[in-house]
Amino acid sequence: MTAYPSADPRGVADAVTANVEQLLLGKTEAIRLALSCLLAGGHLLIEDLPGTGKTSLAKALAASIGGTSQRIQFTPDLLPTDITGVSVWDPDRRAFEFRPGPVFANVVVADEINRASPKTQSALLEVMEEDQVTVDGQTHRAPTPFLVVATQNPIDLEGTYRLPEAQLDRFLMRISLGHPDPAAEEEILTGRARAAVPVLRPVTSPEQIDWVRRAVATVHTAQEIARYIASIADATRRHEALRLGMSTRGSLALLRAAQAHAVCAGRHYVVPDDVKATASAVLTHRMVVSAQAEVRGVSAADVLAEVLDTVRVPTPVAAERT
């Protein structure tokens, strides 16, 4: 295994963040969330306008961890076997040989995922949930670590297929990058005028990322934090503006994301701020607003903000208690 300067979980997180920031200026929080998603063992959906750096973030993350990466451009004529691979007859061996598809990589960029048919989209479900692909009754393991970064545009919806709630739930987080602020955009313009786009080199390895993932799983979560997350879930289920609130899977996802966020901050325990920092990215795509509330212009983000304001926050001492 290649030795890298970072020898602690926070050092790895800081190194990856700084490396990706060479390509995406002014997007520290989005990069941190994407990294937290990777370290929590989840998958990421980036939903934003064209030209905001969705694919660049995915490719930069893949380059930074030193793993293999594949990009799949989703189109209406894409077939499930174009993603998972296919068994081909080998006349010399007189047997079928499995030819792996692009899904067998550490980071898989599913570009414009909503442009493919539901049948093709569903080809990702098994591998996203179980890190494996079954073809012709044979199971093939995906590499580790394994991360799917899917992108989709909220505009230009002609010829697209909306992701159903069951598939959205497979993504641990959904984030938006947004446009850079004027100062960052000016720096991007002047920097690109003087030099070419930087080529990112690995600052860690897949083995080291796996090590950090194991560290995330050991992050302490006090009873007060578990009660805090359960209270948030209960509040969403009873909220009059929601047709569908948080599921238990959503609660577990929020806990995993908060643990990863804590590791990135250099802590071995979760605090309420970790929960708040990751709540929007983890929960809004799992909540369904009622038709009446939607007519009033209420969004899932609005409801979540209200819930976070009303649910009692644990005191720091109680949250950190071992």
| Residue 182 to residues 17, 26, 33, 166, 188, Cα–Cα distance (Å) | 21, 10, 22, 38, 10
- Dist. CA 15–CA 22, nearest whole Å: 11
Say what the pTM is: 0.87
pLDDT digits (tens, 9 = 90+) for 188-245: 777 654 555 567 899 999 999 999 999 999 999 999 999 999 999 999 999 999 998 9
Q: Which parts of 139-290 fold into alpha helices (H)?
A: 165-168, 182-194, 206-217, 223-238, 248-264, 272-283
- What phi and psi, each to the nearest 5 degrees, are found at residue 310? -100, -30
Q: 94 versus 133: which is more confidently predicted?
A: 133
pLDDT at 5: 46
3 state SS of 264: helix
- DSSP conformation class of 22: T
pLDDT in tens, 98-141: 899 999 999 999 988 888 888 888 888 888 988 999 888 888 89
Res 276 pLDDT > 50: yes
pLDDT of residue 4: 47
Domains and CATH numbers, the chain: 16-194 (3.40.50.300), 218-320 (1.10.8.80)
- Compute the average pLDDT of residues 281-297: 93
Closest CA to 200 of 8, 14, 18: 18
Q: How far is the C-alpha of 270 from the C-alpha of 260, rounded, in Å?
A: 9
The per-residue pLDDT for 191 is 67
Beta carbons within 8 Å of 182's beta carbon, 6+ residues apart = none
What per-residue confidence (pLDDT) applies to 134?
86
pLDDT-derived band of residue 39, with 50, 70 and 90 as boundaries?
A: very high
How far, in Å, are 73, 274, 306 from residue 83 at the CA level?
10, 35, 40
Across the chain, mean pLDDT equals: 87
Q: What is the reported pLDDT for 7?
A: 63
State the sign of the Cα–Cα–Cα–Cα dihedral 218, 213, 44, 32: positive
pLDDT band at 57 (very low <50, low <70, confident <90, very high): confident
Tell me how crowded residue 34 is: count the other CB atoms within 10 A of its CB: 27
Q: What secondary structure letter does DSSP report for 133? A: E
The span from the CA of 35 to the CA of 38, in Å, is 5
Q: Which of 216, 163, 165, 189 is nearest to 37 (CA)?
A: 216
pLDDT at 2 (0 to 100): 47
